[in-house]
Chain A
Amino acid sequence: MRVAEAFRVAVTALQANRLRSLLTMLGVIIGVSAVVVLVAIGTGAKQEVENQVNGLGANLVILVPGQLEFGSAPTRSRLELADADRVGRAIGQPGDVAVTLASGETVRAGGNSAFATVNGTNAAVPRIFNRPVARGEYLRESDVDTRRRVAVIGPELADALFEGADPLGRNVAVGGVRFRVIGVFAPLGGAFGASRDAEVHIPVTAAQRLFDDMRVDALAVKAPTTEEIDAVSGTALGVLQSRYPDEEFSAVTQDQILGTVGRILGLLTTVLAAIAAISLLVGGVGVSNIMLVSVRERTREIGLRKAVGARQRDVLLQFLIEAVLLTTIGGVLGIALGVGGSLALAAAIEQLPAVITWWSPALAFGVSAAVGVFFGVVPARRAGRLDPVVALRSE
């Protein structure tokens, strides 16, 4: 029998039982759309992280104390401000080493208050990180040297504290100490964790006094080119290692962060998609079940077709096509629902990025067709093997 004819017969059969066909497809629809949505969110999350990490700046090397491995205990830093100068001299970029000493603090202005990350930094930050200031200016070297109480705040924090009024020249209070706002960062956006748009940067020297902590958490340098990242991190690590022989330090690059985060998110996406795929399997069982019912209902038709010359494989093909049609139509509807759902979710929830990749709908379609073949073959074979004499007699 021609495939086209089998196709036509299958469509007619599905149309004859519209509601049943739709309900049978539902399992596949839900499974496919769940896979598409979860993959879209997983991919979106990964891309968002990549954007953020790459948005930090180029060729960064961040020097942190301790072994940077999963499961290792956080290490109390012994780095101090002078180490920044040592590293800077060693890598031939004196003055171009950013430092950080951060703490979560409540920041107040007037009657308003907000919780923010207060980050003690130095004037090297804009030369190393991509951290544009929208209004005013960033901290200067002299601010750090003289421990001036000035601050650059993120736009989100500015809105929270000053409610639209110009924050420049106004004061914010951190831990009871007042800082004058000299700059407002340009918005960076960001979906994960604490928003960097709610940070406060103050001179590291002021932060050390404020937090009563003469150390710094980490250093950051920028390699002139991508090729020099390894050399720069090697040199910097060497300096720190010789200064603190019994301590360990790690140089973290953006590639490492992306690799680690990418692996975690990739694994998470795979696990979630696999769970969603279980519902696709359940949908396949439903298809198998309803195809067995269909074969039983149409036993006489099968008998007749065999009596007038249908071969076993003609009948098999007819029912297999019907099963595959059920799952692929379900697959297409599921893809539409999944894509629509992903876009709707991404639009409705700002923190939830979703990216539709070309391969996830294609894969979903392929898998649903395969589910149709896999779960359709048993009923179809049963139909093909029916004895025409017995089949014609059935009621």
Chain B
Amino acid sequence: MSGAAGPGGPALEAVDVTRSYVLEGVTVEALRGVTLAVEQGDYAAVVGPSGSGKSTLMHLLGGLDRPTTGTLRVGGRDVSAMTEDELAALRNRTIGFVFQSFQLLARTSAVDNVGMPLVYRGAGRAERRRRAQAALERVGMGHRLDHRPNELSGGEQQRVAIARALVGEPQVLLADEPTGNLDTRNGADVMALLEELNAEQGVAVVLVTHDLEIAGRARRQVRVRDGLLEDAPPRNQQHQGAVDFDGGSVR
């Protein structure tokens, strides 16, 4: 893996992270002080009712968003000190996203969908195809390389999406309700695939779900309610010293 984390350090680390939005003049606190570490090779499920802040947490962990306060380290690097471009590179190399609605590009073949993240590393067409093909074979879709999303079943589409998340060899797969749009059998297949990747390739898997049965399969559960982790104390005002603004020098 090409991540910047030191050996043994957590892949993702949130320290007292808050995230608030201003919606029509009203400040909404989606996260109110979350401290969480995702170790390398971890398999965690984030559970909680809708509106609890679990999606916001997911976006933060994936480098799609930045915390309002607190420290967030992805691959050992402090996100708040990074430029937009560095954040994009981080998403490209360290994180793999799997979405509930697959988010495949229509009119684009499976192999091109999977190879798409490599475009932003400057990989050539041949290399993209080779690596995309390998990723598709890894998820059992090697026979569907040139099919378009509308020619694939939901389960197959999610497998292609997982291959896309995998193609960049990330440290962490972030899966947001990956089985939410699938029937039970396809959902079980997708879960089995994610677990296999976690066990065999050591890629950390963090999945957001409200399905407790699925959450129960993970090694551990992180429960979010009202912007806080359950079993964790609310944000401590004395805790500000832990916030690090000087470029991620804390190791």
Residues on A lying within 8 angstroms of B by beta carbon are 1-2, 5, 12, 16, 300-301, 303-312, 314, 387-389, 392
Contacts and interface: CB of A to CB of B under 8 A. Distances in A.
A389 B120 contact: no
A309 B59 contact: no
B123 to A, nearest CB: 9
A304 B120 CA distance: 12
30 contacts: A1-B119, A1-B120, A1-B122, A5-B119, A12-B108, A16-B107, A303-B103, A304-B103, A304-B105, A306-B88, A307-B62, A307-B97, A307-B103, A309-B89, A309-B93, A309-B117, A309-B121, A309-B168, A310-B88, A310-B120, A311-B84, A312-B85, A312-B88, A314-B88, A387-B65, A388-B64, A389-B59, A389-B65, A392-B64, A392-B103
A388 B91 CA distance: 11
User: Top 9 A-B pairs ranked by shortest CB distance?
Assistant: A309-B92, A308-B117, A309-B120, A311-B88, A304-B103, A311-B85, A388-B64, A309-B91, A389-B59
Q: Which of B64, B84, B88, B121 has the most CB of A within 10 A?
A: B88
B122 A308 contact: no
Given A304-B103, A304-B105, A308-B120, 19 more contacts: A1-B120, A1-B122, A301-B105, A307-B97, A308-B91, A308-B116, A309-B91, A309-B92, A309-B121, A309-B168, A310-B119, A311-B84, A311-B120, A314-B88, A314-B120, A387-B65, A389-B59, A389-B64, A392-B99
Interface residues of B, number: 25
B107 A300 contact: no
A3 to B, nearest CB: 11
Contacts of B105: 301, 304
A306 B85 CA distance: 10
A307 B90 CA distance: 10
Contacts of A309: 88-89, 91-93, 117, 120-121, 168
A312 B83 CA distance: 11
Nearest to B103: A304
A137 B117 CA distance: 86
Contacts of A310: 88, 119-120
B85 A300 contact: no
Nearest to B104: A304
B164 interface: yes
Interface string B99-136: 10001010110000000110111100000000000000
Contacts of A304: 103, 105
B79 to A, nearest CB: 14
Contacts of B99: 392
B116 A305 contact: yes
B119 A2 contact: yes
A300 B97 CA distance: 14
> Which one of B62, B84, B108, B164 has the greatest number of beta carbons of chain A within 10 Å?
B84
A311 B88 CA distance: 6
A307 B175 CA distance: 13
Interface string B69-82: 00000000000000
A183 B69 CA distance: 103
Contacts of B120: 1, 305, 308-311, 314
A388 B59 CA distance: 9
A312 B84 CA distance: 8
A217 B92 CA distance: 86
B88 A12 contact: no
Contacts of B116: 305, 308
A57 B103 CA distance: 77
B117 A2 contact: no
Contacts of B84: 311-312
Contact of A308 (B59, B107, B108, B164): B164
A320 B199 CA distance: 43
B89 A308 contact: no
A382 to B, nearest CB: 15
A289 to B, nearest CB: 23
B58 to A, nearest CB: 10
Contacts of A300: 103
Nearest to B86: A311
Interface in B153-174: 164, 168
Nearest to B161: A304
